[in-house]
Amino acid sequence: MKLKKMTALLLSGMMAFSLAACGGTDANGNSGTEVKTETTAETEAETTETQTGTLSANSDPANTKVTDETLRIGLSSEPSTLWGAAGGKTENEEQIINAAFLDRLVDVDPATNEVKPNLATKWEWIDDTHCKFTLRDDVTMTDGTPFVADDVVYSVNTWVTKAANSDTGRFIVGATADDEHTVTIEYNVVAPGMLAMMAWANFGIVSEDEVNAAGGLEGVQKNPLIGSGKYKFKEWKSGQSITLERNDNYWNKDYKGYFKEIVFTFTGDAAAREMAVESGDSDVAYEMPVSQAATFAESEAVSTVFYSFGQVSHLWYNMGEKAGATKDLKVRQAIDKALDFDAIAQVATAGFGQAALAYMDPSCSYYTENYTKEERAVDIDGAKALLKEAGYADGLELNAICLQDGVPVFTVIQANLAEVGIKLNINTPDTAQFVGGAFGGDYDLIMVGDNLVTRTPAIVPFLRKINVNGPGKVIGGPKYTTDEIDAAIATLISESDESKLAEQANKIDTMIKEQTLCSNGYSELKASILAKDLKGFGSRERGYINVTTLYK
Amino acid sequence: MSENILSVKNLVIHYETDEEVVEAVNNISFDLKKGEILGLVGETGAGKTTTALGIMGLLPTRVGHVIQGSIELDGENLLEKSPREMRKVRGKKISMIFQDPMTALNPVKTVGDQIAEVVLLHERCSRAEAMIRAQKMLAMVGIVPERYKDYPHQFSGGMKQRIVIAIALACEPELLIADEPTTALDVTIQAQILDMMRKLQKEHNTSMILITHDLGVVAEMCDHCAVMYAGELVEYGTVEDIFDNPQHPYTVALYKSIPSLDKDVDRLHVVPGMVTDPSNLPSGCSFSDRCDKKGDMCNKHEAPGIVDLGNGHLVKCLKYKPEVEEK
Amino acid sequence: MLKYILKRILYLIPILIGVSAIIFALKTVTPGDPARQILGNDATEEQVQEKRDELGLNDPVLVQYVNYVGGIVTRGDFGDSYRTGEPILTEILPRLLTSAKITLGAVMIGAIIGVLLGIISALKKYTWIDSVVLVISMFFQSVPEFVVALVLIMILAVKLHLLPATGITTWQGYIMPMLCIGLSAVAGYTRITRSSMLEVLGEDYIRTARAKGQSEKNITYHHALRNAMIPVAQSLGSNIGNAIGGGMVLETVFGVPGVGKYIVDAITQRNYPGVLGGALIIAIILTLINMIVDISFVLIDPRLKTTIISGGAKKMPKKMKAA
């Protein structure tokens, strides 16, 4: 046991090194980032706000200041649009930036997951699929015109028509203005979580006139003089920087933007991004590889933030048409017993995260622990016995598929499985091939994250019938489900009584556990590096940094 | 003929590398009178060019060393001069023409510039004046002065050598050293160049050392002649002395190797053997290995001293030291 | 001369056909569907098919290739970016300017330092100075550029706060990328300069200059250097190529919006028109640069003028050999 721990540690050390070494490619532009988007979009498992420890924001009662300072944020790549909803896209950088200049109907308190008023002062579910929002009457759009219900109607129509295939548009039927300050949005699913989802960056509110003035749905994506957020768009120097400036007409006079300007720059290399913060050129290095950020955790010169964002990484066993030995429950159980989840979590989070004890993330309001530490301990003999029962006494060979950044974790898994006689081949194709293979089920083992904080209609997509049997597709998963599980997830999504959620979630968790459809891995972490004097770090849905809460 | 313009005494030059020491010039002495031409004759590797470079102060740095002796120009010992002072001598008082005109000119500078350069270095004048002088010099060596703007590659070999001569004579030096000035040229051109050199030498009353292995050239041009072998001066005298009355066996052998229209010979006489390796000289007389008149004592006795046969006809051979023969 | 230049421009055609064909071939064999790339994973299969038709991806490769080349030749159209929908040329041109500044600066830094070190080590050959120069230049050649880059950022930006770590929002931002690319080229220039200097210093015309009474300093700078620069200048063309290659990596490290970063980003984004257009434009520029470099030799080496003006190498070789 001791030896095993040592190996894991050693491995984790090596992995950290190798990750750091390939940090360039890793954080280089989009290969990494885009896959994340793809995974989340595809898995239809997008979710919300985070637990970050630091909660202070510009809306902190202690901080109502307005300064002439400039905030500089280093992103890993340049977005191709600043209002993806108009083109049916969502990009990480686009979401981070437009969240600062677009305002949404509601907000979510990252600490409590509680939905709070924003552009809408109150709301009311008229029935299961209609929600009526009462709007503020003191909001001015970028073009100086007052914010009215028609702006919401126009925005919703844009999502529905232009982003019909993404989470931005596909759960919404449309919106009607009841009067100048009341609007009703109709959804096509029964999902109370849609309300919290409306706080996502995807759902920024714009007015038709300002969109047309900014160049129509095409032009506005590059010149987004739209919205009513704390900041407004100022300048986009292609390839170089995007600048926002404070919106002096922001409706909340007490909590306007703290900074005069926010400048986003794009540096693919994570180390260079970090050094820009250390040298004082930049205030934030967003999205550092965790292992690389870990090396700065003790640094005097910068602060390093690690934060989970409600996403748990699960090891899925293929049980679909192309499945091999993993169709056998005993094999799946044997693997689950053989794995050292602590070591996996250590390697994956550079020692800053924990092994998951349930399918759900601890930050979910409906989280309950489902495994004991004992249950998760390594049991080599038990695993071997199960394999023998399953007829694999002489061992077997399995294939895993992952992207380059998944190799460290799979290397630990490989070492664990070798001890029980399973030979694991790790395949690391390029992004496109990975997506193809993960779609098509060309694997025995695959690790994919599921973001569960916001109870959107898209959570636990891997086990929904529509994705496994129907027209939808998911990246990864078991390629298998049952009616019971599918119904249980549907219930979790549509349940309006929040007190019943934990129980329902636990029911799903137990069903997954009984069949060992997956092994729960760890809560994923993100890391950013901040200048020492920067306060108010907070993150938004899916781990995006919230740039409007920062101050010095 | 009056005083000596150049007086070389007991000059020893060694080339020293990590591996070996080459005794390139071995204790030679000679004088050159004003307005006279001295022919320096010998096979390749005899030390002729080294002697010339020694006079110019252009021995290869770090390798070539003057071990002893003196080189006096107008009574001043050049070996005692600083590099800076030597730069004032070179080009001004002594000029040198090198063997291969093809490579002696800088390919990226116009010939006018290259002639003017030496004028500017040694005479107080403006660039424009120097260029005019350069054109005059071109005219003097028989090249259309307007071609001063041309680059060396636009001239033929013979014309290049004319330009080299123009450079050498631009500052009217007292002494001109010509190191095989015609070897690299076509035979027809050779005569033209030699004629021109002789003419200019006479006009300016320049003293000259003509290095060559062509005895015919010496006969035509020179007043005195010095024959070198393996770094030593084996015979010295007036052209008449050397040609009509050669004394040293090597000089005699050299004569035999000249093709002659008068004599009816089937094949040319060749000096037997290879040129003695200066880094590995035999004991005694250095020519002894190839000498057809070699006596018993030639290798046993120390190197023969110089014997004056009268009228300044010097020879370095044991034959003329009867006392040694007798022993 | 004009004839020569025209001829060199004609050489561009086979080069560009080659480059475009190779990259086009690569595009067809690499996996991944550009149509899906553009539309995202939310798009349905029908939409993807529609997009494929629109982009002409369902046509035979040869037809696609001919259409592409036709677009460039007839309309100067390198296609539209899959990512932004903008014409490639519009996206690349401003980036080209940025890269050009950096490349030029880098080549200048590299050449100046390299040539100076080369002269020093030639003049001080076989001394300790020669060895030190050799070690320094080898160091910068053998250490990968991005490592030098990170070390430079560490020292100049993080520790000394002299220069911005990334970006080119101010002119100071250009310095480090130029230094990095330049330093890696120093070794090459030093070596060429040193050997060519040593060769030239042994030439007869140097001895002629000495015989004129010229000082060593003037001999070095007026006689030797210009001759020794000919091979250095000849290597300039290929060095500019290397500098552009180095720029690919370093622009990413330094966050410089240049062509290199554009192509690297285009590769990771599977933005084929971006990769193809970027590579082609760089190929055109490199060929033009090499041509300009060749022509500029005439200024250094007058012997070549005759070759070029007379329009061929028929007359020259003999003379060159003689020289």
The answer to whether the CB of B4 falls within 8 A of the CB of B32 is yes
Are residues B91 and C204, on separate chains, in Cβ contact within 8 Å? no
Could you count the other beta carbons within 10 Å of the beta carbon of residue B62?
A: 9
Pairwise CA distance, residues C316 & C306, whole Å = 7
Helix axes C145-152 and A270-278, enclosed angle (nearest 10): 20
Pairwise CA distance, residues A187 & A251, whole Å = 28
pLDDT at A201: 92
| Alpha helix positions (H), C30-87 | 34-39, 45-55, 61-75
Pairwise CA distance, residues B271 & C322, whole Å = 32
Mean pLDDT calculated for residue range A436-464: 89
Pairwise CA distance, residues A446 & A400, whole Å = 6
Pairwise CA distance, residues A224 & A232, whole Å = 8
3-state secondary structure of A418: helix
- Count of structural domains, chain B: 1
The answer to whether the CB of C219 falls within 8 A of the CB of C276 is no
Instruction: Return the structure tokens found at B128.
Output: 């424009």
Provide the residue type at B106 as one letter. Answer: N
Pairwise CA distance, residues A277 & A275, whole Å = 5
* Cα angle value B150/B156/B161 (rounded, 5°): 90
Q: Which string of DSSP letters, residue by residue, matches C95-148?
A: HHHHHHHHHHHHHHHHHHHHHHHHHHHHHTTTSHHHHHHHHHHHHHHHS-HHHH
The answer to whether the CB of B6 falls within 8 A of the CB of B55 is yes
Domain membership of residue B46 (yes or no) is yes
Distance from CA of C157 to the nearest CA of A (A): 5
Are residues A267 and C44, on separate chains, in Cβ contact within 8 Å? no
Give the list of residues 6+ apart from residue A467 with CB closer than 8 angstroms, or none.
Answer: A44, A461, A473, A474, A477
User: What does residue C57 show for φ and ψ, rounded to 5 degrees?
Assistant: -75, -15
> What are the tens digits of pLDDT across the range B36-49?
999 998 888 788 88
The answer to whether the CB of C101 falls within 8 A of the CB of C173 is no
The answer to whether the CB of A32 falls within 8 A of the CB of A405 is yes
Domain containing residue B83: 4-93+173-320
Provide the residue type at A19 as one letter. Answer: L
Check if C262 contacts A (Cβ < 8 Å): yes
Which residues between 256 and 285 in chain A have a beta carbon less than 8 angstroms from any beta carbon of chain C? 265-269, 271-273, 275-276, 278-282
Mutate which of A39, A76, A238, A273 to disrupt the C interface (most C C-beta within 10 Å)? A238
Pairwise CA distance, residues B255 & B243, whole Å = 8
Nearest residue, CB atoms, C161 vs list A42, A90, A280: A280
Rg (CA), chain A: 23
Are residues C204 and B122, on separate chains, in Cβ contact within 8 Å? no
Domain membership of residue B199 (yes or no) is yes
Share of chain B above pLDDT 70, in %: 89
Distance from CA of C305 to the nearest CA of B (A): 11
Instruction: Return the structure tokens found at A448.
Output: 């994919």
Helix axes C2-29 and C272-300, enclosed angle (nearest 10): 150
pLDDT tens string, chain C, 323 residues long: the values are 677 778 777 877 888 788 888 878 877 776 667 777 666 656 667 777 887 888 777 888 888 888 888 888 888 888 888 877 788 888 888 888 888 888 888 888 988 999 999 988 988 888 888 888 888 888 888 888 888 888 888 888 888 888 887 777 778 888 888 888 888 888 888 989 999 998 888 888 888 888 888 888 888 888 888 888 888 887 887 788 778 877 878 888 888 888 888 888 888 777 888 888 888 888 888 878 877 877 777 666 777 666 555 444 443 333 343 33
Pairwise CA distance, residues C178 & C163, whole Å = 13
> What are the tens digits of pLDDT across the range B207-216?
999 998 888 8
Pairwise CA distance, residues A400 & A416, whole Å = 14
Pairwise CA distance, residues A413 & A336, whole Å = 10
CATH of range A83-229; options 3.40.190.10, 2.60.40.10, 3.90.950.10, 3.40.50.620: 3.40.190.10
A neighbour chains, 3+ CB pairs within 8 Å: C
Tell which residue, A412, A413, A408, A526, has the closest CA to residue A16.
A408
- ipTM of this complex prediction, to 2 decimal places: 0.82
Residue appearing with tokens 């259409």: C67
Which residues between 72 and 111 in chain A have a beta carbon less than 8 angstroms from any beta carbon of chain C? 74, 77-78, 80-81, 88-90
Pairwise CA distance, residues A377 & A332, whole Å = 15
Tell which residue, A131, A143, A142, has the closest CA to residue A106.
A131
Pairwise CA distance, residues A173 & A189, whole Å = 9
Distance from CA of C187 to the nearest CA of A (A): 26
CB pairs under 8 A between B and C: 80
Check if C316 contacts A (Cβ < 8 Å): no
Are residues C227 and B118, on separate chains, in Cβ contact within 8 Å? no
Cα distances (Å, whole numbers) of residue A230 to A47, A151, A226, A261, A552? 23, 18, 12, 11, 17
Cα distances (Å, whole numbers) of residue C23 to A2, C71, C196, C274, C311? 53, 16, 38, 11, 34
pLDDT at A51: 34
Tell which residue, C157, C154, C159, has the closest CA to residue C167.
C157
Domain membership of residue B119 (yes or no) is no
Check if B92 contacts C (Cβ < 8 Å): yes
Tell which residue, A533, A62, A71, A61, has the closest CA to residue A257.
A71
Report the residue of chain B nearest C204, measured CA to CA.
B104
* Cα angle value A424/A428/A430 (rounded, 5°): 160
Instruction: Return the structure tokens found at B21.
Output: 């020491």
Cα distances (Å, whole numbers) of residue A235 to A240, C201, C220? 11, 58, 54
Which residues between 172 and 231 in chain A have a beta carbon less than 8 angstroms from any beta carbon of chain C? 218, 222
CA dihedral of residues C36, C40, C45, C47 (deg, nearest 10): -90
Provide the residue type at C133 as one letter. Answer: V
pLDDT at C157: 84
Domain membership of residue B67 (yes or no) is yes
Architecture per CATH, A3-49+308-526: Roll (3.10)
pLDDT at A400: 95
Do B and A make contact, counting contact as 3+ CB pairs within 8 angstroms?
no
pLDDT at A332: 95
Pairwise CA distance, residues B105 & B90, whole Å = 17
The answer to whether the CB of C270 falls within 8 A of the CB of C55 is no
The answer to whether the CB of A147 falls within 8 A of the CB of A135 is yes
The answer to whether the CB of C268 falls within 8 A of the CB of A29 is yes
Domain CATH code at residue B221:
3.40.50.300
Are residues B107 and C319, on separate chains, in Cβ contact within 8 Å? no
Residue appearing with tokens 């204790």: B27
Report the residue of chain A nearest C94, measured CA to CA.
A238
Strand residues in A63-119 grouped as ranges (E): 70-75, 106-109, 114-117
The answer to whether the CB of A214 falls within 8 A of the CB of A236 is no
Pairwise CA distance, residues A325 & A423, whole Å = 12
> In this structure, is the dihedral angle defined by the CA atoms of residues C314, C319, C322 and C323, taken in order, positive or negative?
negative
* Cα angle value C287/C288/C293 (rounded, 5°): 100
Are residues C158 and A38, on separate chains, in Cβ contact within 8 Å? no
pLDDT reading at A210 higher than 90: yes
> In B, which residues are within 8 Å of C300 by CB distance?
108
> In C, which residues are within 8 Å of A78 by CB distance?
265
> What are the tens digits of pLDDT across the range A274-316?
888 988 889 999 989 888 888 888 888 899 999 888 899 999 9
> What are the tens digits of pLDDT across the range C242-294?
788 778 788 888 888 888 888 888 887 778 888 888 888 888 888 788 778 77
pLDDT at A491: 93
Are residues C268 and A433, on separate chains, in Cβ contact within 8 Å? no
Pairwise CA distance, residues C292 & C1, whole Å = 12
Domain boundaries of chain C, sorted by first residue: 98-258
Domain boundaries of chain A, sorted by first residue: 3-49+308-526, 83-229
> In A, which residues are within 8 Å of C84 by CB distance?
80-81, 222
3-state secondary structure of A57: coil
Pairwise CA distance, residues A195 & A24, whole Å = 39
Helix axes B187-204 and B157-169, enclosed angle (nearest 10): 20
Provide the residue type at A435 as one letter. Answer: V
Are residues A281 and C167, on separate chains, in Cβ contact within 8 Å? yes
Buried b / exposed e over A51-62, threshold 16 CB at 10 Å, is bbebeebbbeee
* Cα angle value A358/A524/A454 (rounded, 5°): 70
pLDDT tier at A59, thresholds 50, 70, 90: low
Report the residue of chain C nearest A301, measured CA to CA.
C158
Give the list of residues 6+ apart from residue A441 with CB closer than 8 angstroms, or none.
Answer: A318, A320, A321, A322, A323, A479
3-state secondary structure of A2: helix
pLDDT tier at B263, thresholds 50, 70, 90: low
Tell which residue, A483, A484, A449, A438, has the closest CA to residue A360.
A449
CATH fold for domain C98-258 = MetI-like fold (1.10.3720)
Distance from CA of C319 to the nearest CA of B (A): 7
Q: Which string of DSSP letters, residue by residue, matches A323-391?
A: --GGGSHHHHHHHHHH--HHHHHHHHHTTSS-B-SSSS-TTSTT------HHHHS--HHHHHHHHHHTT
**First-to-final CA distance of chain C:** 23
User: What does residue A156 show for φ and ψ, rounded to 5 degrees?
Assistant: -60, -45
> In A, which residues are within 8 Å of C146 by CB distance?
24, 269
Q: Parallel, antiparallel, or unpaired for β A120-125 and A130-135?
A: antiparallel
pLDDT at A22: 35
Helices (H) and strands (E) in chain C, counts: 15, 0
> In C, which residues are within 8 Å of B117 by CB distance?
209, 212, 214
**First-to-final CA distance of chain B:** 42
Check if B172 contacts C (Cβ < 8 Å): no
Are residues A272 and C149, on separate chains, in Cβ contact within 8 Å? yes
Mean pLDDT calculated for residue range A422-449: 88
